[in-house]
Structure 1
Amino acid sequence: MVNYRYLGNSGLKITEITYGNWLTHGSQVENDVATACVRAALDAGITSFDTADVYANTKAEQVLGDALKGERRESLEIFTKVYWTTGPGGPNDSGLSRKHIMESINGSLTRLGTDYVDLYQAHRYDTETPLEETMQAFADIVRQGKALYIGVSEWTAPQLRAGHALAKELGFQLISSQPQYSMLWRVIEDEVVPASRELGVSQIVWSPVAQGVLTGKYLPGQPAPAGSRATDAKGGATMISRFMHDDVLTRVQGLRPVADELGLTMAQLAVAWVLQNDNVAAALVGASRPEQVAENVKASGVTIPAELLARIDEVLGSVVERDPAKTAEGAPKKRPS
């Protein structure tokens, strides 16, 4: 079964392996398979589920809501997000304005079939809306009981500090950050993680397996396997492209002896690795087949000895991205339209 960790400086516990349905539900896999994956997650002891209104343009929330029907709501932790464009893409169909946030939470709750979400997250920072307006809207949603806690995704350390200060002023808790983090992508370590520790914020990390690269299934000098994310024209191939270079893939193959020594698969090693960071509350894992969920949860509770962590660093060497500026570089400079 899966271990629990506290989320930030709060009393909320979440499963350290959290099920996420980005790039799968409502798009890559059929609804019956998506439901089977959610059932497998529940069977494995996962009670925390992460989605967003933008995933498959709201369809992912609907699929998750349908899959969780009949479960005791109080036994689940459901997270969703707001920022990216939903609906037809009108001028107020994206961003973190009060209008978009208030309309989006109502839509999300309807699709998820619940009166509240445990965690409502700003999916990116909105450069076009005053932060005070955004945080006031979040404060009102918490007071209305539509969200219990507030989090953010891919915010820089200064943005986190500013948002946290306003949240405190307004009387609610900003407790989480959802960044990309893996053995290959460590850009949060130098700035975001220290700021988060200082503020009582913890990480719910996405792509701990680097979009599948750290499973070891992509081999240097060989075409990507048919049906893999690297061949997915709906968005997967674009996301994974930064890692699809022979120097990266060759070094990843060098991790096999470490995984073998720990009795783990390569994917389990990757998930267990992010959980060694004490500021990480959970690793988000997705699945296109139910058996993948059962495999991923085996990373829960694993301790990687210091000498093996050092060996991982040595094997990966210079292909690891550590530049903290990448968080700001990858952020939208204006609202999508």
Structure 2
Amino acid sequence: MEYRRLGRSGLKVSALSLGSWVTFGKQVDLNDAKTLLKTAYDSGVNFFDNAEGYEAGESEKIMGDAINALGLPRDTFAVSSKVFWGGDKPTQLGLSAKHVRDACDAALRRLKVDYLDLFFCHRPDVDTPIEETVRAMHQLVMQGKIVYWGTSEWNAQQITEAHAIARQEHLTPPTMEQPQYNMFNRDKVEGEYRPIYEQYGLGTTIWSPLASGILTGKYLDGIP
């Protein structure tokens, strides 16, 4: 397995990760999850990706139960969660300081870990000032609940603003962005983000590298 630094951070994650979107809690039960995680872990995968919005938290519960059952040493893997879609109530959505804190605490319980290695803002929130979100993430870092925080599907201007606020207010800046990146979706990663890779040391952990399976060819003859 090849391992790469996550942006300018010192964290080295496997070039391939195991994510649980639309699988864990829907198509994958605990027994299958244990098999998948063990196979990935034994092959050198050290990064497991999740989110509060995946099957309304059930995905994190299954991943947490599987990791716990396998007894994986906590210092040998990195696990992530994401905050944005936590429920239907106004306080369960977006990137307000309250929801960021609540979502982190809930993810820790579901994943059965003491801290998250990576915590992503799952989407930009036009109703919450970026400074509020940056400060909320910084507080989680200071509390030891998360190690690195980042964004998902933010544009370069929003990421730049987050870095500027962090620098001005002496807060922890975002380390990574998780965009969609595959042969059909290349512009943001290869074009829009290009200036901020060197300027801020932006790291990326992509989603849907196979375009939800389309690039495998398995849908050429219909839905299996």
TM-score > 0.5, shorter chain as reference: yes
- Residue aligned with 1:132, SS: helix
Aligned equivalent of 1:18:
17
State which of 222, 225, 242 in structure 1 corresponds to 2:223: 225
Q: Is the 8 A contact 1:24 1:34 kept in 2?
A: no
Aligned equivalent of 1:301:
none
Aligned equivalent of 2:165:
166
Deviation at 1:195, TM superposition (A): 2.2
State the distance in 2 between where 1:193 and 1:11 align: 21
CA RMSD of aligned residues (A): 1.2
State the distance in 2 between where 1:179 and 1:197 align: 17
Aligned equivalent of 1:139:
138
Q: Is the 8 A contact 2:30 2:65 kept in 1?
A: no
Aligned equivalent of 1:93:
92
Aligned equivalent of 2:104:
105
- Residue aligned with 1:161, SS: helix
Higher alpha-carbon deviation: 167-176 or 3-12 = 167-176
Deviation at 1:32, TM superposition (A): 1.5
Q: Percent identity?
A: 41
Aligned equivalent of 1:72:
73
Q: Is the 8 A contact 1:39 1:67 kept in 2?
A: no
State the distance in 1 between where 2:166 and 2:174 align: 6
Aligned equivalent of 2:199:
198
State the distance in 1 between where 2:196 and 2:43 align: 33
| Partner amino acid, structure 1, of 2:199 | E
Deviation at 1:166, TM superposition (A): 1.9
TM-score with structure 2 setting the length: 0.94
- Residue aligned with 2:133, SS: helix
TM-superposition CA deviations, 1:69-107 (whole Å, max 9, x none): 1211011111111011x24x1111110001101111100
- Cα distance change, pair 106–34 in 1 and its aligned pair in 2 (3 A): same
| Partner amino acid, structure 1, of 2:200 | L
| Partner amino acid, structure 2, of 1:38 | L
Deviation at 1:56, TM superposition (A): 0.4
TM-superposition CA deviations, 1:229-248 (whole Å, max 9, x none): xxxxxxxxxxxxxxxxxxxx
Structure 1 unaligned residues grouped into runs of 5+: 227-337
Deviation at 1:217, TM superposition (A): 2.2
Structure 2 unaligned residues grouped into runs of 5+: none
State the distance in 1 between where 2:112 and 2:91 align: 24
State the distance in 1 between where 2:56 and 2:193 align: 29
State the distance in 2 between where 1:127 and 1:196 align: 24
Deviation at 1:197, TM superposition (A): 3.2
1:255-270 equivalences in 2 (<5 Å)? none
Deviation at 1:211, TM superposition (A): 0.9
| Partner amino acid, structure 2, of 1:24 | T
Aligned equivalent of 1:29:
28
1:203-222 equivalences in 2 (<5 Å)? 203-219=204-220, 222=221
| Partner amino acid, structure 2, of 1:185 | N
- Residue aligned with 1:150, SS: strand
- Residue aligned with 1:65, SS: helix
- Residue aligned with 2:212, SS: helix
State the distance in 2 between where 1:196 and 1:94 align: 29
TM-score with structure 1 setting the length: 0.63
Deviation at 1:165, TM superposition (A): 1.8
- Cα distance change, pair 109–202 in 1 and its aligned pair in 2 (3 A): same
The structure showing larger relative contact order (alpha-carbon pairs under 8 Å, at least 6 residues apart) is 1
- Residue aligned with 2:60, SS: helix
Q: Is the 8 A contact 1:176 1:202 kept in 2?
A: yes
Q: Does 1:187 align with 2:179?
A: no
